[in-house]
Structure formats: C-alpha cells, structure tokens
Chain A
C-alpha cells in the first residue's frame, strides 16, 4: 500500500468525529448549547467514587437464612394442614435444611402422608418409624437464595432511591453480594445511609404477657433458663429499647411468640409528631392489614401492645380501643431517625440479614485533588514523550505524535461512549498508555532505520519496517492485553477502572501504531520522490 488507502482514511475520520462528539460534553460541561442534547449524547466521562467522593459499600447477603425462614413457614403451613386432618403432631424439629415431624401413632402418620404430595416438588421426603422428614431440594434452595438476594437488592434499591441521592448504583456482585455506590455522599450522610441499608426493618405487633427488670428473673418465672425454651410455651423474650425504658420493671418484655400483624401489611409509614411535638412514625393499614390489626386491638382492649422493631420493643402502649387503620410508633427519635425509620418501613423488611463486608468513604477533597494531579501528570508525561519522539525521530517522530494524539482522543471517546467509569488508577492507566503507545512506533522506526542502512530506498524501507515489525508490535501488545484482562477479572472498583483504560488503550494503540501512523506517513510524502527520510 504505497498510497494511503481511502478505506482506512475514512475509518480514521469517522473514529475521530465520533470521539469528538462523545468528548464534547466532558470538556464543555454546562456550556453545551441547548440543541446539542437533542442531537448528540449529553453525558461526558463518568467519574468513579474515588474521584467524586462518596460511599462504596459491599454487602454480604446471608442468603442461607432464607432456608431457615422457609422451614419455619413450612412448619406453620403443615400445622394448619394437619389440624384440618385432625392430627396433632408430637413435635417438629428443624435442622440444617430438614424439617422432621414426629407423630403419636401410626394412623396419624398415615393421615399426614397426604401432605407429601404438597411438598414433593420442593423437598425429598423420607418416612421413618413414626416420623416424616422433609429435606429441601438443592435446586429449590438455590432458587430460595436467589429470590432472597433479588428481594434484598430490590428493597435496598427502593430505600436508597427514596433517601434521595444522585445517581446511586446498586449492583449484584458475585453470587451473594451487593455492591452499592453512592457518589457525592458526605461523611455526615454516611451513618444514615448505612443504617437505612442495613436495617432489617422487621416490624411486629404482639400482645405483652409480662415484663421484668432482668432476663433471669423473667425466665425463672416461667421455669426456663434460656429465651429459646420459652418458645415451647408460645412466648418470646424481647429487650426494651434502652432509650425508652420508663421503669426498672420494663427492661425486658415477654410477648406472644408469633406476631399476628407484621410490617408487611403496612400501607404507609410517615414522619409524624406526638402530642409533645416529638418526632414519631405514623403508620397506616388498609384492607387485610386493617382488619387483622382491628381484630388484634379489638380483642385485647386493656392489654398492652408491643411494637417490636427488629427484635427490640420500641414501645408498649395500653390498648384503649379498637384501632384498625392508623397507629404511631413513639420513642426517643431524632427527626432524621424518625424520617429514616418511616422510609425503611415503607420499603419493606429485608428477607434475610446483610453484613457490611467492605466500606469506603471518600471525602470530596481527595477526589478533586486527584483529578488535578492526574491532569498534571498527563500533561507533563505527554510533553515529555512528544519531545522525546521529536528529538529522536524528527519528522517520523512528529507523525508518531499526531498518531498518539489521535490515539488518546479515540481512547477517551471510547471511554465516554461506553459509559466506562474513570477512576484514579484509570487516569494512571491513561498516562501509562501514552508511554506504551509510542513503543510500537519506536519498534517500527528502528526497523526502518535498519532497512535504510542496508541500502533500501525510503519507501521500500518504510514498507519493510511496517511489515516486518507487525508481529513484534502485535505480540508485545497482546501480552499486555492478556494481563490487563486478568486484572479486570481480579480487580474491584478503581482497579477495574485501570484494567479497562489499559485494555482499551492497547487496542486503540495497535490501530494507531500499524494503521494511523502509516497512513499519515503516506499522506505526508504523497507521490513525491523522496531522497531521504527524516528519521
């Protein structure tokens, strides 16, 4: 290809045009003319959390808890079904992923065997002597866990969106993790955001049976030693909210074990104020929830109703009259706490608990400082490389520099068009790419020099230089690309940003080395007779 191929010139021009279009928003920002957004993309380069500041949270979802919940649900359902058949089971036992029912007699067991058909889809059923055991199928367990994680993600999604932050990102990360990024969140938002996300928000309404100053005295009253043993008496022990203890005798409460009404029936929850003007959370029921709550309160006038949030009693007012649609949770809330509690109650409970496995809070000053330093390194590094190439290769060096400038434009254009997030290591990757990108040119130019030395004509030397170096340039770049891809697999957050810029940089560099620079060379020399190359 002695003459610049028209096809390649068009490819280069199109790439250039696209890059400029995609990069304009990044450089002009708010100064974009109004019509631009109607025709062209408006979003510029996206900055990562390490450059913008914000909160990065990696949550581990305890999906295995979904099994426990499923087994206890099954137990309740079976209890009802057995009651319909007039069978009184001797005991239920659940361990790991198996629920075992023991019966008093063989005939009971036979009646219960009808249950099998209801559960054979999801469990493996085994019959022993006087008991039936249901073991959840592995496939079903996977399905349960998947559903739990999806639900956790959706709930957290709702909560964060309601909290009102700009451009939060909530993604699945691996099998059982959720990655949450809240850009721009400040340190003062941190605690609130984390609490909103992590709060299980399981709200239960239960009738109070007893209260006492310590756990031990209360348990002794019921002839048990651990809170778990209370369950066989259909009772449960709850600590009172420490900030809300009104008398010594109310540090612990005993309530019914199962809640007749839970937060899942809520139709709304809002910030309200109590009669003293203190922040509280008002909630309301509709439909089924309202009738259940009405029944619970109507049947228990004069008793105390415990409002239990995540296992702790928030308050335990005496029921004065039948209430069905409205209620209020009071306590020692600050305004923000009440607001946030209303928010999490509205968005529903987390089906399984989550743990914070990793957290990063980046202050805004670190980010802007990093961007400034990144720009400076790009400029200084760029000038150094450009000067170096001119000093060593003169006109050919200039050609390499033009190719390098185009290369950088292509890379940045690509990054913004595909919405890749630019991180601090990503900027370092760009700087590094500038240094590596001219490597290909150097390999080729050195080869051209060699070809000239053995007496080839300028054009023959150029052709030989480009053709004989092609594989060296390819090999060198492919190996680097290989490690960049491994890094992409390995890395999280900022490191992934580095792997992405490096990978895109390498691909664009190959193009710039073996096509762009060569085309420019042909364009410059044209059809002229060239006596000596400036190299």
Chain B
C-alpha cells in the first residue's frame, strides 16, 4: 500500500515562505505565553520545595483544592492536574516556607484529613511526596539547559562529519525550531516543566532529526546524478521522493505515543504530550524548514543555480 503516490510533485519549496511565517507565528505565540506565565512553570525538582502527588476518589476542581488548602494554613504554590481529567490526580506544590523538610511527616499526616470535608473520609490518597532542597534545583536547571544545548551541538558536529556544513546547520535550526514550539505548547497548556519534559525535549532533538536526515541523504544522492534542474528543484524533488517514508516513520511513533498519552497513566501523560508535539513539529520542520535553510544559504552565497 502506498501512502503517497509515486511521482507526486508538490511544490514544497514554493510553500516554504508561508511555512516560515507560520513557524515564526507559532514560536511567537509560545514566547508570548512564556512571558505571560512569567517563564516556564518549573517543576519542584528545579525550584525546590515540597510536592505531593495526590489522587482523589471524587471529582474535585483545582480551585477547590487551593481554597481547602489555604483555609487550613497550607497555601499551595501551584496545583496542577495530572493525566486525564477523569483520573482526578493532582500535583500540589508548596514552597519551602510553607512546608519545610522537617515538617513533612507532620504535614503528611494532616493532609488527607484536610480534604475529608470535601471528598469524604479516605477520599484523598497520597501517592508520592517529593522534597527538593534549593541547592539541587539550581544545579538541575543549569544541567537541563546545558544538556539541551549539548544535544544541538552534538548533532551539529555529527552531521558536519556526515554532510556539508549548511546541511548540518539547517538540521539544527529545524531542531531549535522544534524545541521552541514544544516549549510554547507546554507553556500554553500550562503544564509543569519537569525533568521528564527535559527528557522528552532531548528525545525530540534526537528523533526529529531523523526525517531531516532521510531528506538530506536523498538530496546528496540526487546531487551526484547529472541533472539539469536547479538546486531549488532538486530539493523539492528529494522532499517529494522521500515524502512517504518521512511521514510513515512518524506515524508509527505517533501511534505508540498516542497509546502512552491515553493509557500510560498520569505520570507519563505530559511526557507523551511533549513528544507528540515535538515529533509532529519535527516532521513538519524537516520538510519545510531544514531544506529551505540550505537553499537560502546557497542563494546568499551565490552558489545557487
């Protein structure tokens, strides 16, 4: 079965300008959201404090959780829904000023009782408690940023060995694009930025580049053939020739990610979400951004025929 008919000729290069504007728009929306939310909604592992993962047996809204807590003297720093709404699972974060390490035991004992009035006796189950000291958090933020940059640089270096410089750079620009859009999506949906999300971003970097490699490989192969077409046309041909595998490979990953998103449970939910956004964006940018950059680069340097 063929997903894309052989001899498909879609003029992708012509659409690249439009795509560029769309990407720019999406990234801008993400940035505006980040500014509006005052940066990423850092998870407890980055900012320090105490975080409780709690499951309610009854439906409860996050503002109910907030007001119940603050009337008991434990005002929460953030209340975050985890997983699907029907799970009724929440991550509640407290600043170290509200719940210091020494008070956790005491606090844990009181916590379930606090919600008795709202969800009934035994209606709130504490699944997990995390405490992170301030020192660890700072180190982790640094390490997270370094590892993302290292991901980009590592791939740039590897592709520089395998391809010409402008191809390597084009691929990495596409990856930066993917990470920015994924970050924006996380910010817009107001999901917590946790270690797991960093893991998802790095995976997006490593995986999204695959589609770009498929296309670049074909461009290189076609360049070796003697043809009379321009580089711009050649890129377009290559994208068309590899279109079915670029999309098919993503579909299989997309399928398993959907399974994780809907069935994987609350802890994996956000991770799967970030990967879905990143992987889909990655395919889009492989088709529209990476090649476009190489064309632009060659055009600027006058090597474009």
Contact = CB atoms under 8 A, between A and B. Distances in A.
A533 interface: no
Given A361-B128, A365-B127, A439-B210, A370 B265 contact: yes
Given A359-B131, A363-B126, A495-B196, A439 B253 contact: yes
A490 B268 CA distance: 19
Contacts of A431: 256, 259-260, 264
Contacts of A213: none
A389 B249 CA distance: 11
B154 interface: yes
Interface stretch (A88-96, A227-235, A481-489): A481-489
Contact of B244 (A376, A380, A446): A446
Contacts of B264: 373-374, 377, 428, 431
Interface string B182-222: 00000000000001101100110111011001100100000
B133 A479 contact: no
A481 B2 CA distance: 30
B31 to A, nearest CB: 24
A453 B8 CA distance: 14
B263 interface: yes
Contact of A442 (B154, B241, B245, B272): B245
A187 interface: yes
B257 to A, nearest CB: 7
Interface in A439-476: 439, 442-443, 446, 449-450, 453, 471-472, 475-476
Contacts of A14: none
A384 B126 contact: no
B155 A482 contact: yes
B256 A381 contact: yes
A442 B252 contact: yes
A425 B271 contact: yes
Nearest to A375: B263
Contact of B3 (A392, A438, A487): A392
B254 interface: yes
A381 B154 contact: no
A43 interface: no
A502 B3 contact: no
Contacts of A388: 251-252, 255
A484 B133 contact: no
A394 B4 CA distance: 17
A187 B54 CA distance: 14
Nearest to A58: B136
Given A424-B267, A428-B272, A479-B209, A434 B249 contact: no
Nearest to A479: B209
Contact of B206 (A187, A471, A479, A498): A479
A112 interface: no
B151 A486 contact: yes
Contact of A432 (B158, B198, B203): B203
Contact of B203 (A58, A191, A359, A483): A483
Given A424-B268, A472-B217, A359 B130 contact: yes
A219 interface: no
Nearest to B248: A442
Interface residues of B, number: 70
B154 A482 contact: yes
Main secondary structure of the interface of A (DSSP, over half): helix
A436 interface: yes
Interface in B126-158: 126-133, 135-136, 143-144, 146-147, 150-151, 154-155, 158
A60 B48 CA distance: 15
A435 B255 contact: yes
Nearest to A445: B245
Interface string B97-138: 000010011001000000000000000011111111101100
Given A373-B263, A446-B248, A481 B256 contact: no
A366 interface: yes
A392 B133 CA distance: 52
B127 A363 contact: yes
A357 B135 contact: yes
B252 A439 contact: yes
B196 A425 contact: yes
Nearest to B147: A490
Interface residues of A, number: 70
A362 B131 CA distance: 12
B131 A435 contact: no
B86 to A, nearest CB: 14
B249 A481 contact: no
Contacts of B132: 357-359
Give the residue among B3, B108, B252 with the most A Cβ atoms within 10 A.
B252
A446 B199 contact: no
Contact of A380 (B154, B196, B259): B259
Given A357-B133, A439-B249, A495-B195, A363 B255 contact: no
Interface in B234-280: 241-242, 244-245, 248-249, 251-260, 263-265, 267-268, 271-272, 275
Contact of A363 (B125, B196, B207, B251): B125
Nearest to B150: A486
A480 B213 CA distance: 12
Interface string A384-399: 1100110111000000
B207 to A, nearest CB: 5
A482 B152 CA distance: 10
A432 B257 contact: yes
A498 B255 contact: no
Contacts of A355: 133
Given A360-B129, A366-B128, A377-B264, A443 B245 contact: yes
A471 B242 CA distance: 15
B298 to A, nearest CB: 22
A369 interface: yes
A21 interface: no
A476 B105 contact: no
Contact of A443 (B196, B249, B258, B271): B249
Given A365-B125, A365-B127, A480-B210, A377 B252 contact: no
A491 interface: yes
23 contacts: A187-B126, A357-B133, A359-B131, A360-B131, A361-B128, A363-B127, A373-B265, A376-B263, A377-B259, A377-B263, A381-B256, A381-B258, A431-B260, A435-B252, A435-B256, A435-B257, A449-B6, A450-B241, A483-B203, A484-B202, A484-B203, A486-B151, A491-B195
Given A479-B155, A487-B199, 16 more contacts: A60-B133, A190-B105, A359-B129, A359-B130, A360-B128, A360-B130, A361-B129, A365-B125, A384-B259, A388-B252, A393-B1, A439-B249, A442-B248, A475-B162, A476-B210, A487-B202
Interface of A: 50, 58, 60, 187, 190-191, 355-363, 365-366, 369-370, 373-374, 376-377, 380-381, 384-385, 388-389, 391-393, 424-425, 428, 431-432, 434-436, 438-439, 442-443, 446, 449-450, 453, 471-472, 475-476, 478-484, 486-487, 489-492, 494-495, 498-499, 502
Interface pairs A-B: 9 shortest CB-CB: A483-B206, A435-B256, A381-B259, A373-B265, A381-B256, A435-B253, A480-B206, A476-B210, A366-B127
